[in-house]
């Protein structure tokens, strides 16, 4: 008899979803959340509130228009942000985290902070690795 999700070690499975399983739909969500542009957009929107597209693009240096647009569409599709279009001249489009998207802010915010704080150690490890290889 096979092992059920509830019987698997680790205790990380939830409500029948198991991201370790190749067929689990939560993997697609992890693909979105794990994208660097999505992660940075979540933090930017979480810290600054609703932003226009141009404000978000200037906040996240190096993101291309194509990548930011794709990232925002993925986030909207997954219910992580809302896109509000205000008819004006020119048309105004604002992006804001949904309550669901806001639940990611502590997790991704800590990950961003961790990366910034531990970059010297990572750089040292990379240098040591590169000198061995």
Instruction: Return the H-helix or E-strand segment holding 111.
Output: helix 105-132
Percent of the chain with pLDDT over 90: 74
CA distance 16 to 5: 6
Residue with tokens 């291309």: 64
What pLDDT is recorded for position 14?
Answer: 67
Cα radius of gyration rounded to whole Å, the chain:
19
CA distance 30 to 113: 20
Q: Over the stretch 70-100, which tens digit does the pLDDT of each residue have?
A: 999 999 999 999 999 999 888 889 999 999 9
Instruction: Return the H-helix or E-strand segment holding 95.
Output: strand 92-97
User: pTM, whole model, 2 decimals?
Assistant: 0.82
Q: Over the stretch 92-101, which tens digit does the pLDDT of each residue have?
A: 899 999 999 9
Q: How confident is the model at residue 2 (pLDDT cuts 50, 70, 90)?
A: very low
More confident residue, 22 or 41: 41
What pLDDT is recorded for position 91?
Answer: 86
DSSP codes of every residue in 28-54: HHHHHHTSHHHHHHHHHHHHH-SEEHH
């Amino acid at each position: 008899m096979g092992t059920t999700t509830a019987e698997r070690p680790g205790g990380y499975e939830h409500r029948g979803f198991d991201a370790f399983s190749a067929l689990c739909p939560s993997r697609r969500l992890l693909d979105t959340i794990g994208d660097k542009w999505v992660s940075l957009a979540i933090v930017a929107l979480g810290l600054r509130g609703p932003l226009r597209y141009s404000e978000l693009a200037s906040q996240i240096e190096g993101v291309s228009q194509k990548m930011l647009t794709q990232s925002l569409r993925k986030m909207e599709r997954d219910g992580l942000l809302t896109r509000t279009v205000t008819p004006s001249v020119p048309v105004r489009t604002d992006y804001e985290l949904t309550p669901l998207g806001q639940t990611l802010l502590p997790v991704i915010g800590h990950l961003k902070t961790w990366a910034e704080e531990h970059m010297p150690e990572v750089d040292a490890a990379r240098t040591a690795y590169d000198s061995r290889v």
